[in-house]
Amino acid sequence: MNKYASATAGSITAMGMSHSWKVTVKDNGQGFEGDPFAKKGKFGLRIMKELCNEMGWIMNMYREDRDTVVKIHKGALT
């Protein structure tokens, strides 16, 4: 599924409207330690985060149980 993370399963969920929405991407890959945006050679992650900031979106990346989770959202979902 992912040659970098060695993931074998993943999911994408999305919800919201045009003014507020959330997209969540999860996989069971090897994950990361520390701040994934500060690591040397991780240009793709930094570019993603910068583009989200430019669009006024918020991007978070973290580990949850044994999964890597990337959430991007705009506005407040109720």
Domains, the chain, ranges and CATH? 10-74 (3.30.565.10)
Q: Is 60 left (phi over 0), alpha (psi -120 to 50) or beta?
A: beta
Beta strands in the chain (DSSP E): 10-16, 21-27, 58-64, 67-74
Tell me 2's DSSP state: B
pTM for the model stands at 0.80
Confidence of residue 77 (pLDDT cuts 50, 70, 90): low
Has residue 27 got a pLDDT over 80? yes
Is 50 in a helix, a strand, or coil?
A: helix
